[in-house]
Chains A and B, each alone.
Chain A
């Protein structure tokens, strides 16, 4: 029986694999399966309609993950993120139509323009927090709606804007769906990568400090204004990329459908549902919500009950699963595992070593440790 005064660390039981390794293997296998499923989806899809639904869900995943770059890291909830989605879509379309820019170049350039625009907007909007920030984000999308509707000569206004197809006329519609599905997945991978890199960086730690307590973070030396702005601009850029890709795929833009608070709130719902603190959370939320929307529509489509159902889903998530569906489910599962005893039979240092080996992300450094140069802890 071990006691706290034993100095030698306990020998790890070598006769059976540690739970952490089993889990890691399972995690790897699951990841491979998931990637394979996603890549093979166009082949597996029963018909082009399902494929088009897949494109829509992939688009949602891009938007939700891009939103999460600012919403999840900094805690600034933007309900009007559809603004960047809409402007990205229109920028791409207008560059192609008015300036004869090749479609995919226009896509990137359009998103860059939105990123540039996001700088002054961010400087102004990020001056306020919490509820005021939410109100500002809503106001932004509404004012853009008004502008794009009224400036008909430039944007097509309420008549809508037809976006020329990027692929030649002999690429049939089902194949278009397939190509855009892969494009969306590629974009999603990039955004996920960006999220992952930020998550592990000092920048990311600073953002999370802002989320926990902005004033304390500032007093500890985190350059809050600069960090917030960078996250904001990155998020706007990727959301605009998502919007531009949608424009190229769907082919028709109408201000009333692009600049809608409803889209913005779907983004938030998806990120929240999946879990804002995890890499794949928003993407998983996007899949769940996308499938749910299709399901509600085919079940209750011709009455307004689909709105009721979406509202209930959102309310349920907020009230009972505010950390996201995955943490909630995992907590449920954890209830049935043998609980750890409260009396520790190892020293704190050994405990830390064991935890770090098993669950690296939970032992990530807090803002104070990052700021403290003396804590040079190996990862």
Chain B
């Protein structure tokens, strides 16, 4: 093979490839119409986080539609540009680069999942953009010095179970559980929720007899369930996402382990959950940032609008997305600007640091690192339906303790 010819071809190919990249990328830059507010978002629509990613997409789209039907943002129509980051950190960063530099969006909304939030927030920060995000709740997100980041939900991961911890520790000694088993996914969010509860319960004297951490792709929970079952712990706490909770619960059922209290993050808020574990949901607890039944004024409108357009009530992912929209809209309307200039974005960021915003999850305010200052609700399956049981002031049903057999 002739290396000079090879080189010639190679050089021609690479130069033309570079030219192709340089000139005609992805359909060309979109031109911003003067009376539109463009918002750029990157979501995991495919890949490992695609299920909740799609929920967030629905929420954003519903919000945009609602806003446009009700006078728009500062009188202008809102247009969303949503890209798919394939649940990949490299892609999410490059997506936001594209949205900010190529599409020149006015505002950005955050992606889904803590793993993707950090690289995305970095890009936003480097370009001076406000970054309100619906899904990065792990403690680590708030320790990286992102002054432009705000989490659009009531509480960070470690505080999700606060109300439950308080209630358990307030029980009389005879009723209070003595031992606890924890199983969490090696994921900053899932683990954060469980460890937040664990810290508080341990401080209150409840002994940890099992503390298991498993990799995210674990599908076989026989071993972990065996440890939990033989420890006969009074309560089991899962720092889980979705399918791992389902698998763990089935494994625990297979071993006939009957705890007095069972709490799992994320999974029980999913509408597929009851069917997946064989309708044996009675008594299972979960922290939730959102309930369709909450009486906040904007929530009533949200549930109404969403149900009419989508045919079913919104879930937590959709609500987090809607909240993000609400927060950004509040800042925009207050500061009266929505453009990519660092000056405008800085004004938006400043506003949110100093003010409280009314949303579908209640009033939200943040500390300087973007941590919201509220607390998550605790839901429970009571008589087959999800009911809020804590805090007392918002409860729809009494806390069921001890848990019936599953």
A contact residues vs B (CB 8 Å cutoff): 23-24, 26-27, 30-31, 33-34, 37-38, 41, 44-50, 52-54, 56-57, 146, 149-150, 152, 157-160, 162, 172-174, 176, 250-252, 254, 256-257, 274-275, 277-281, 283-284, 287-288, 291, 294, 297-298, 301-304, 306, 323, 325-327, 329-330, 333, 359, 361-362
Let me know if B97 is at the binding interface, CB within 8 A.
yes
Distance between A2 CB and nearest chain B CB, rounded to angstroms: 24
How many residue pairs link A and B with beta carbons under 8 A? The number is 180
Distance between B141 CB and nearest chain A CB, rounded to angstroms: 9
Contact of A150 among B6, B86, B101, B186 (CB under 8 A): B186
Instruction: Enumerate B77-131 residues with CB–CB distance to A below 8 Å.
Output: 83-84, 86, 88-91, 93-94, 97-98, 100-102, 115, 118-119, 122-123, 126-127
A41 touches B18 (CB 8 A): yes
Distance between A72 CB and nearest chain B CB, rounded to angstroms: 13
Q: Which residues of A contact B91 (CB under 8 A)?
A: 297
5 closest Cβ contacts across the A-B interface? A298-B26, A173-B126, A302-B84, A30-B11, A49-B101
Given the known interface contacts A41-B22, A326-B9, the answer about A162 and B118 at a Cβ–Cβ threshold of 8 Å is yes
B10 touches A291 (CB 8 A): no
Let me know if B393 is at the binding interface, CB within 8 A.
no
A47 to B97, CA, bound (A): 9
Distance between B389 CB and nearest chain A CB, rounded to angstroms: 31
**Could you give 19 example pairs across A and B, Cβ below 8 Å?**
A30-B8, A41-B22, A49-B100, A57-B21, A149-B186, A159-B188, A160-B118, A162-B144, A250-B90, A254-B115, A274-B10, A283-B14, A284-B13, A284-B14, A288-B17, A291-B20, A301-B84, A303-B46, A326-B13
Contact of B15 among A33, A150, A303 (CB under 8 A): A33
Let me know if B230 is at the binding interface, CB within 8 A.
no
Q: Which residues of A contact B3 (CB under 8 A)?
A: 278-279, 359, 361-362
B22 touches A326 (CB 8 A): no
Distance between B19 CB and nearest chain A CB, rounded to angstroms: 8
Contact of B1 among A274, A301, A362 (CB under 8 A): A362
Q: Which residue of A lies closest to B19 (CB)?
A: A37
Q: Which residues of A contact B83 (CB under 8 A)?
A: 301-302
Q: Which residues of A contact B216 (CB under 8 A)?
A: 158, 256
A251 to B97, CA, bound (A): 14
A254 touches B89 (CB 8 A): yes
A25 to B118, CA, bound (A): 50
B7 touches A27 (CB 8 A): yes
6 more A-B residue pairs beyond the given contacts A280-B6, A330-B2, with a C-beta to C-beta distance below 8 A: A30-B12, A57-B21, A158-B115, A250-B93, A252-B118, A287-B13
Q: What is the interface of chain A mostly: helix, strand, loop, or mixed?
A: helix
Q: What is the interface of chain B mostly: helix, strand, loop, or mixed?
A: helix
Q: Which residues of B contact A306 (CB under 8 A)?
A: 86
Let me know if B308 is at the binding interface, CB within 8 A.
no
A48 touches B186 (CB 8 A): no
A257 touches B186 (CB 8 A): no
B186 touches A250 (CB 8 A): no
A54 to B126, CA, bound (A): 19
Q: Which residue of A lies closest to B217 (CB)?
A: A256
Q: Which residues of A contact B21 (CB under 8 A)?
A: 50, 53-54, 57, 291, 294
B2 touches A158 (CB 8 A): no
* Residue from B10, B115, B119 having most chain A Cβ neighbours under 10 A: B10
Contact of B5 among A23, A38, A176, A274 (CB under 8 A): A23
Let me know if B173 is at the binding interface, CB within 8 A.
no
Instruction: Enumerate B277-322 residues with CB–CB distance to A below 8 Å.
Output: none
Let me know if B4 is at the binding interface, CB within 8 A.
yes
Distance between A335 CB and nearest chain B CB, rounded to angstroms: 14
Q: Which residues of B contact A158 (CB under 8 A)?
A: 115, 186-188, 191, 216
Q: Which residues of B contact A30 (CB under 8 A)?
A: 7-8, 11-12
Given the known interface contacts A37-B18, A330-B1, the answer about A301 and B10 at a Cβ–Cβ threshold of 8 Å is no
B127 touches A173 (CB 8 A): yes
Distance between B212 CB and nearest chain A CB, rounded to angstroms: 12
Q: Which residues of B contact A57 (CB under 8 A)?
A: 21
A56 touches B118 (CB 8 A): no
Q: Which residues of B contact A280 (CB under 8 A)?
A: 6-7, 10-11, 14
A327 touches B11 (CB 8 A): no
A218 to B295, CA, bound (A): 81
Let me know if B69 is at the binding interface, CB within 8 A.
no
Q: Which residue of B lies closest to A329 (CB)?
A: B9
Q: Which residue of B lies closest to A20 (CB)?
A: B4
Contact of B98 among A49, A157, A303 (CB under 8 A): A49
Let me know if B215 is at the binding interface, CB within 8 A.
yes
Q: Which residues of A contact B12 (CB under 8 A)?
A: 30
Let me know if B175 is at the binding interface, CB within 8 A.
no
Q: Which residues of A contact B86 (CB under 8 A)?
A: 297, 301, 306
B138 touches A159 (CB 8 A): yes
A288 touches B13 (CB 8 A): yes
A27 touches B4 (CB 8 A): yes
